[in-house]
Structure 1
Amino acid sequence: MDEDERLRRGASFGAVAQAYAEHRPDYPEAAVRWCLAPAGAPGAPGADLSLLRVVDLGAGTGKLTALLTRLGADVTAVDPDQAMLAELRRQLPEVRALPGSAEALPLADGSADAVLCGQAMHWFDMDVALPEIARVLVAGGVLAGLWNSDDDRVDWVAGLQAVAKGTASPTLSARRAEAFDYDLDHVAPALFTPADRAEFPNGQRRTAQSMVATIATHSRLLVMDPAGRDELLAAVTAYLSERPETADGEFTVPIVTSALRAVRR
């Protein structure tokens, strides 16, 4: 997307902050622990992360913040959208939550052991953001990104993507084809090691109604004209009501969490 569209879509989520918090998928613990492992995080499920200072950058309503807090990390949430931050503070009042962006972090030099970005790194101006993120990381600290993608190797998911015309969650095949597009060592080779990548299953329980509500929180839909948005969501609703996998009650959406991590030199 061009710069104007990136800024417009990136600023669209505050209008649906409560729906975002309710319907967007969360992240698997295994993916978060993998991201944090180079910073010294214990890998065992349930192991305490209290020694780690973690920044959730582009925290939104706190989907990733909540998991990090539950695991015991010392979390600072940062997001540029005041409406999203307000929802995060409502749900997680104990968390330090600050207005700021990847390009201008409100944090001191060397104040973080890890910076995690859940469904956010693609909104950053990487040329500006990477030096700024490196500034707040200690040497040996970790920068990691996580993205939830619908697994379009499953037939009904591929059909949903066709009906949604690219407005639903990006697919696993799209994520793989773009190779995350974040070779951090190419953008800032003096700052970060080459990135490692991994994938984690992250199936989410949904109904047809909640699936439509989830799709309605995606940025392409949020910036559409209302008539076009309503027409597209009606088509998605009709599709889900016709598919045997999704027509009756709850079903599992096959989601894969793609993760990327690099170490601050």
Structure 2
Amino acid sequence: MDEDEQLSHASSFGTAAVAYAEHRPDYARAAVRWALEAAPGPRVLDLGAGTGKLTATLAELGAEVVAVEPDPAMLAELRRSLPGVRALAGSAEAIPLPDGSVDAVVAGNAMHWFDMAVAGPEIARVLAPGGVLAGLWNLMDDRVEWVAGLARVSGSAAVGPRDTPASWRAETAAMHLPRTGGSARFGSPEQAEFPHGQRRTADSLVATIATRAGMLVMPDREREATLGRIRAFLASGPETARGEFTLPMLTGVLRVRRL
């Protein structure tokens, strides 16, 4: 993906902020706990917080959380749904917090949008010594046969390079983390995966897939054709044709510690 295409995808979510808030899944609590277990304190920055999917879980687990989000529509939805959370306009490349002010920086399905050449030193700046940086991604568990079929039918615009376990492991193994933090150094990265799931119907799963960046930037006719194929696939499967079902998922975590 070139720089212009990356920017187009990254800035597309605000057009679907309400749908994103309604349909995107939260994150496995065990994954969030693991992301934070080595943090030296409770102060957590949710960076690229979107509509607050990860923010809400952090708050429920007792973190002293502040959310930072660049898109005005996403930030407005976050503030509406989580009025008790401190939520600021800002980005990974320009974090509106003082030096050493947080014990952990986390990002839910967002770290791959960061320009780490700029964001890396900024993240290191706001992290206290020994602080943790962790990215979390929700993955479709394509080890389940019907989920693998859904991924094939959906195509790359709906199921990207970090959306299934094997591709996520490969994509994040050496990417999306700071190579330098100015004078700060980071330890060796760690990956872990945690079972998760989302209750869906065929219609609500189609609505979820429609909030993905590749779908949001797709021409209308192509998007409707893709969503039509997905609807037909879900209508044809015994697991998904009638009523509610659980979409098998994993929450993958990539974490690293500031030394």
Pairwise same-fold verdict (TM > 0.5): yes
Match of residue 180 from structure 2: 188
User: Does the CA-based 8 Å contact 1:184-1:192 persist in structure 2?
Assistant: no
CA apart distance, 1:182? 2.4
Is the CA contact 1:183–1:195 (under 8 Å) kept in the aligned structure 2?
no
* Cα distance change of structure 1 residues 54 and 154 upon mapping to structure 2, 3 Å threshold: same
- Residue 108 of structure 1 aligns to a residue whose secondary structure is coil
Q: Is the 8 A contact 1:152 1:173 kept in 2?
A: no
User: In the alignment, is residue 261 of structure 1 matched against residue 251 of structure 2?
Assistant: no
Question: Secondary structure of 2:143's match?
Answer: coil
In structure 2, C-alpha distance between the alignment counterparts of 1:173 and 1:237, rounded to whole Å: 25
Mapped partners of 1:61, 1:184: distance in 2: 23
Distance change (3 Å), C-alpha of 1:183 and 1:12: closer
- 2:180 alignment partner AA: A
1:183–1:194 CA contact under 8 A, matched in 2 = no
Tell me if the contact between 1:53 and 1:112 (Cα under 8 Å) persists in the aligned partners. Answer: yes
Which residue identity is paired with 2:186? Answer: F
Q: Distance in 2 between matches of 1:209 and 1:181?
A: 36
- Name the TM-score, length of structure 2 as normaliser: 0.95
Structure 1 residue ranges (4+ consecutive) displaced by more than 3 angstroms after TM superposition: none
- Alpha-carbon RMSD across the aligned residues, in angstroms, is 1.4
* Partner Cα separation in structure 1 for residue 187 and residue 89 of structure 2: 28
3-state SS in 2 of match to 1:39: coil
User: Does the CA contact (< 8 Å) of 2:172 and 2:254 recur in 1?
Assistant: no
1:163 matched to 2:141: no
Match of 2:4 in 1: 4
C-alpha distance after superposition, 1:115-169 (max 9, x if no partner) = 0101000000111111100000000011000000101111111111111112334
**Alpha-carbon separation, structure 1, partners of 2:77 and 2:133:** 25
- Would you say the 8 A contact 2:206–2:227 is kept in 1? yes
Query: 1:193 is paired with a residue of what secondary structure?
Result: coil
Structure 1 counterpart of 2:32: 32
Q: 1:235 aligns with which of 226, 229, 233?
A: 229
Kindly indicate whether the alpha-carbon contact (under 8 Å) linking 2:46 and 2:55 is maintained by their aligned counterparts in 1: yes
Q: What is residue 198 of structure 1 aligned with on the other side?
A: 192
Change (3 A) 1:61 1:183: closer
**Conserved in 2, the CA contact under 8 Å of 1:78 and 1:100?**
yes
* 2-structure distance, mates of 1:19, 1:183: 27
Structure 2 partner of 1:20: 20
Contact kept, 8 Å, 1:151 with 1:173, in 2: the verdict is no
Instruction: Please say if residues 116 and 176 of structure 2, whose CA atoms lie closer than 8 Å, have aligned partners that are also in contact.
Output: no
Check whether the contact 1:12–1:223 (CA below 8 A) recurs between aligned residues: yes
1:198 aligns to what SS in structure 2? Answer: strand
Contact 1:118 1:146 in 2 (8 A): yes
Shift of 1:18: 0.8
1:247 to 1:69, Cα distance in 2 relative to 1, 3 A: same
2:54 alignment counterpart: 64
Q: 1:54 aligns with which of 44, 69, 73?
A: 44
Q: Distance in 1 between matches of 2:218 and 2:172?
A: 28
Counterparts in 2 of 1:124-135, with a 5 A limit?
124-135=114-125
Unaligned runs of 5+ in 1: 41-50
Code of the residue aligned with 2:62 in structure 1: it is G
- Residue 183 of structure 1 deviates from its aligned partner by 6.8
1:115 and 2:105 are equivalent in the alignment:
yes
What is aligned with 1:86?
Answer: 76
- Identity in percent: 61
User: Aligned partners of 2:72, 2:210: CA distance in 1, in Å?
Assistant: 20
C-alpha distance in 1 between matches for 2:102 and 2:55? 15
The answer for unaligned runs of 5 or more in structure 2 is: none
Superposition TM-score, scaled by structure 1 size = 0.92
How big is the shift at 1:258? Answer: 0.6
What code does the residue aligned with 2:24 have? R
How far did residue 179 of structure 1 move?
3.9
Q: C-alpha separation between the residues in 2 aligned to 1:76 and 1:133?
A: 14
**Structure 1: how far apart are the matches of 2:166 and 2:118?**
28
Number of residues of Structure 1 aligned to a counterpart in Structure 2: 254
